[in-house]
Amino acid sequence: MTPDDLAIPAVLPAVLSELQAGFGADLRGIWLHGSAVSGGLRPGSDIDLLVVTGRPMSPVLRRRLSDALMRLSAPYPAPPGGARCLEMLVFRADRLAMGRHPAEAEFVYGEWLRAAFEAGETPAVTADPEFTLVLAQARGQARALLGPPLEQVLPQVPAADIRRAMGDALPALMAGLQGDARNCLLTLARMWRTARCGDFVPKDVAAAWAMEHLPAPMAAVLGAARDGYLAGRAGTGPDPDDSVRHAADHLHARVVASL
């Protein structure tokens, strides 16, 4: 691990212990993915975990795991230099083997769900094109914390499914511009990079690449979003004024044209 990863070990043993106790012999593996392993972990980055189980989760296990993660995860926004927010996706091995699109997660945890879980909601099975993209990226980059390399458990995600997933995810992404402009702009840049080059890179790398292909005013907007991300600034980035909307619309059109 790099110096940026120093906050990770403090929470991972407790998370792994909860998963092993909950899933027992049905636990096929636990993998660290996302920015923590792609070289892009930033002060405000979440810790992304991917879990594969051999059986469906009971309502009791869903509640137990969500309660444990709410104890272990830092509420958003995480304090600088302190505990980090956790994101976790649990997949069933049999569903992964089917190669369905959109991919179906047995369980999802993220800080945007905390309020619902605190109100008593139980995490449910969820299908989302974003999960297809997560799996495709994680397969080549994830680091095993327990179990074999992920490529031994997860079939190759076809390029056609990756492109389809990006297209299917675009409406929800654009709808989030008002409340999460920074993430929307950076995710659009990363989608464009993936659609054009076929790889998955950190958000700041994708933004730098996209800025070289954008008109100067739009590159400046994307650059501001990238700088906020790199600095780990709390919040969702710039308010979506005309310049931000124009940049988002332009990036959206570039992604669609590249699919």
Catalytic site positions:
87
Element (H, E) at 2: none
125 by DSSP, 3-state: which?
coil
Token digits of residue 83 = 């505990």
| 50 residue type, one letter | L
Q: What is the distance between the terminal CA atoms of the chain, rounded to a whole angstrom?
A: 35
Provide the 10 A C-beta neighbour count for residue 186.
Answer: 24
145 by DSSP, 3-state: which?
strand
Nearest-angstrom CA–CA distance, 53 and 156: 18
Nearest-angstrom CA–CA distance, 42 and 203: 11
Nearest-angstrom CA–CA distance, 163 and 167: 6
Query: Could you give the angle at which helices 159-175 and 129-141 cross, rounded to 10 degrees?
Result: 130
Residues paired with 126 in a beta bridge: 105
